Structure 1
Amino acid sequence: MNDIGSIREDRGTITGKTSSPLILLMLPLIKLYQWFLEWRNWMWDRGLFTLRRLSGKVISIGNLTVGGTGKTPLTLYVARFLHQKGFRVAVLSRGYKREKKRALAVVSDGEKILSSPRYAGDEPYLIARNLPAVAVVVHPDRYRAGQWAEEKLGAEMYLLDDGFQHRRLWRDVDILLLDGNEIQPELHLFPRGRLREPLKGIRRADIIVITQSAPGQSHSPVLEAIKRYNPTAPLFYSQRLLKGLFWVKGDRKVREPPFRTRRVVSLCAIAQPLYFEEDLRQLQLEIVRSFRFRDHHWYNQKEVNAVVSTARQLNTEAVVTTEKDALRLSQLKLGDLPFLYLKIDIEIREQEEFQQTLMSKLRLNPEGE
């Protein structure tokens, strides 16, 4: 995406689906891909591939779909909880769409941030910025990243950010996030749907967290899949918490919003933009125009200038984006039009039970090691 013509302004959720005629042509390849994934998981399940272990406890946090289930907020939640219990925690990430993808990057050593969003990746950098006391190390080989964190930083507890499919590293607990609003057509393998692997992968989960689900929801394709493949797994529900608006430049909370009419332009490059836009409406903001780019897109100055120009033409009062997008925008010239981002957190509805279950699965005392 190198020019403003690539901006998406439609109102549909961005998924992996393509046009029906093309999908029909691709069905044999998708079936072959499914067979390969099932064979790969079968080999891992029977110990026929070499599995490597770190000396500390390992928790994987991941999903079955191509983004948008809240992995990063849950990683922050679990890392914060374990740090408060007194563990030296390191988050291990591959740093999706970062520069120099093969290099080991120490985003944070648990005392200060040592990298940049472009070199670290937007999500690892966001984790480091929100949890300054937790180490964050990036490398496509999580085992190597974990070894470095153990030898250099004394880490004893590891979180695999987006680690459900990274099976070469042993984990003590697999936490699987599933979007409770996924509909049946999306529960197919990419690119026909949004799945990274077949639904039967749910069997590997030690703990399941349902996100984006209404309280009391008892029937959905996702819940039916859980009942079919892993009915005994501890099941929890989470919800987003809106923490307020912050300035993109300066990273300060907005005390007095610069709004009279509350008319804004929304801007994001995330997997599920509709959730973000609904959050803005909960803040009583009127979204006059939505600009949507592909997940993890790095903006350029021309794109930002076009967004600002449109916002002015529509007489809006601000551009509002996500915290992850704010990292990618902060180094560009934004002009004098207010650029704000919405900060969100996650809340586990059965928080105490979730924490106790996690410690039990790790075989640790609820009060710490």
Structure 2
Amino acid sequence: MAWLIIMSDLISWQKKLCPALWPISLLYGLGMRLRSTYWAHSTHTWNPPIPCISVGNISWGGTGKTPFCQYLLKLSLKYNLRPVILTRGYKASPPVYPHLVQVNDDPKTCGDEPLLLAASHAQAKVVVDPNRTRAGKWAIANLDPDLFILDDGFQHQKLHRHLNLVLFSPNDFLIHWNKVIPAGPWREPKTALNRADIFLINTWNRDRQTLATYVARKLTPFNKPIFYFRICPRALINLNTQTRHPHLNNEPYILVTGIANPKKVLSTITHFLGYPPKNHLFFPDHHHFEKKDFEHILQLAHNDKIKHIVCTTKDALKLKKFTYPHLLALEIEVQFDTEDEQRFEQILLKKISRQD
């Protein structure tokens, strides 16, 4: 809870101090433009011999990159491709780089999101290395891939990509448009969007028609395809028995989150079950849950006479070691409208087959 308060205070202070922070943002943005220009003309970039799709954003987290990488894994396997995800592995500490993620890895070794990606599709390979050029060359030599998926790759310009996907949240258009660090959460100014090939809007279940008005006003000048998607819950999975539950029979539950956008998870689970949790415990993004954390969660559950504890699939990787019989993970998936999904697939397949 303290972490959420800190983040809320940070956003609040950014709004209050925006005029004072704006000159620093201009300097930061200039630095990022110069960096982009350097890599665009550098001879030190690597152009891989297979198609490479970058999944990234222009702001801090919360746009759905990990679920979208899962979607791309599923899509590539549908077309009999052998995908390899290249990721830096935030907070990972493997014994050696590059590190090929194994489904029985400790999240502290490979990072929680790489482990989630590896566990979600057994045929896919996930390679952790801050130096993604090194990781890519190692994968070519050892894994025989057909396709690279570059996780959180929009700002990683050392490696050439054949398709640049940029994901947005509604707040990128409604609140944060072109507000660059430190005045806002954007990593680069809006001119960076010229590097994108496709824009993908995570609607967060907002009304698409209303949101589309703001999106069109901001993105139409870039003349790139725009698609809308949402992240939808599928079921609650018991981490001990792997049983799938479509509901909890209106029984109370505690929600535990250690992700960048806990409020979105709260909204999703409330909508899915039809009622909110009795309590929502916030932890920092990528939090490594320790015994004392889980004891605190259990104590709150005991005090309120609640048996069900619900978490995200990312947090489940770190909580399942406590073998609590009523620990449930919320399974989610990316969904497009049918015609949008077909058009997106067509553009994607055409682009990576040409490799231009």
Structure-1 residue corresponding to 2:92: 98
Decide whether aligned partners of structure 1 residues 36 and 145 sit closer, same or farther in structure 2, where only a CA change above 3 A counts.
Answer: same
**Which residue of structure 1 aligns with residue 293 of structure 2?**
303
Other-structure match for 1:208: 199
* More moved, 209-218 vs 232-241: 209-218
Distance 1:15 1:360, change over 3 A: farther
- The percentage of aligned residue pairs carrying the same residue is 27
State whether structure 2 residue 55 is matched by structure 1 residue 61.
Answer: yes
Q: Indicate how the Cα distance of structure 1 residues 287 and 171 shifts in structure 2: closer, same or farther if over 3 A, else same.
A: same
Distance 1:291 1:157, change over 3 A: same
Q: Larger helix proportion, structure 1 or 2?
A: 2
Q: Separation in 2 of the partners of 1:290 and 1:255?
A: 20
Deviation at 1:71, TM superposition (A): 0.8
Q: Tell me how many residue pairs correspond in the alignment.
A: 348
| C-alpha distance after superposition, 1:113-167 (max 9, x if no partner) | 3633221111111111111111111101111111111111111210001111100
Q: 2:210 aligns with which of 205, 208, 217?
A: 217
Match of 1:267 in 2: 256
Q: Deviations over 1:213-254 (max 9, x none)?
A: 4332355655432124x1x2111111122110012335x133
Name 2:32's counterpart in structure 1.
Answer: 37
**Alignment partners' CA distance in 2, 1:154 and 1:99:** 25
Corresponding residue for 1:348? 336
1:171 is aligned with what amino acid? R
Taking the aligned partners of 1:101 and 1:92, their CA distance within structure 2 comes to 17
Is residue 318 of structure 1 aligned with residue 305 of structure 2? no
Following superposition of structure 1 onto structure 2, how do residues 246-265 of structure 1 map, counting pairs within 5 Å?
Answer: 246-250=237-241, 252-255=242-245, 259=248, 261-265=250-254
CA distance in 1, matches of 2:7, 2:22: 22
Q: Distance in 1 between matches of 2:298 and 2:197?
A: 46
Q: Is the 8 A contact 2:173 2:218 kept in 1?
A: no
- Corresponding letter in the other structure for 2:113: E
Distance 1:102 1:29 in 2: 38
Q: Classify 1:221/1:300 alpha carbon distance in 2 versus 1 (closer, same or farther; 3 Å).
A: farther
In 1, are the aligned partners of 2:17 and 2:183 still within 8 Å (CA)?
no
Q: Report the CA distance shift for 1:99/1:128 in structure 2 as closer, same or farther (over 3 A).
A: same
Moved more, 188-197 or 57-66: 188-197
**What runs of 5+ residues in structure 2 fail to find an aligned partner?**
none
Alignment match, 1:291:
281
Aligned residue identity for 1:341 = A
Match of 2:268 in 1: 279
Alignment RMSD (CA, Å): 2.6
Corresponding position: 1:238 with 2:201? no
Partner-residue secondary structure (3-state), 1:287: coil
**Structure-to-structure mapping, 1:34-183, within 5 angstroms:** 34-45=29-40, 47-48=41-42, 50-100=44-94, 103-108=97-102, 113=103, 115-182=105-172
| Alpha carbons of structure 1 residues 14 and 205: separation in structure 2 relative to 1, 3 Å | farther
Please, what TM-score do these two structures have when normalized by structure 2? Answer: 0.88
Question: Aligned letter for 1:348?
Answer: F
- SS at 1:19 equivalent: helix
| 2:33 counterpart letter in structure 1 | E
- Could you list the per-position Cα deviations for residues 54-92 of structure 1 after superposition, in whole angstroms to 9, with x for gaps in the alignment? 111111011111111111111111122122212221111
CA contact (8 A) 1:182 1:222 kept: no
C-alpha separation in 1, matches of 2:314 and 2:212: 32
What amino acid does structure 2 have at the position aligned with 1:176? Answer: V
Quick one: which amino acid aligns to residue 217 of structure 2?
E
Cα distance in 2 for residues equivalent to 1:219 and 1:101: 46
CA drift of 1:200 comes to: 2.1
Alpha-carbon distance, 1:24 to partner:
6.6
User: Match of 1:145, as an amino acid?
Assistant: A
The letter of the residue matching 1:75 is C
Partner Cα separation in structure 2 for residue 181 and residue 142 of structure 1: 30
Query: Given the alignment of the two structures, is residue 198 of structure 1 paired with residue 189 of structure 2, yes or no?
Result: yes
| Secondary structure of the structure 1 residue equivalent to 2:11 | coil
Q: Aligned with 2:93: secondary structure?
A: coil
Secondary structure of the residue aligned to 1:30 is helix
Provide the residue aligned with 1:3 in structure 2.
none
Q: Extract structure 1 runs of 4+ deviating beyond 6 A.
A: 21-25
What is the SS of the residue equivalent to 2:230? Answer: strand
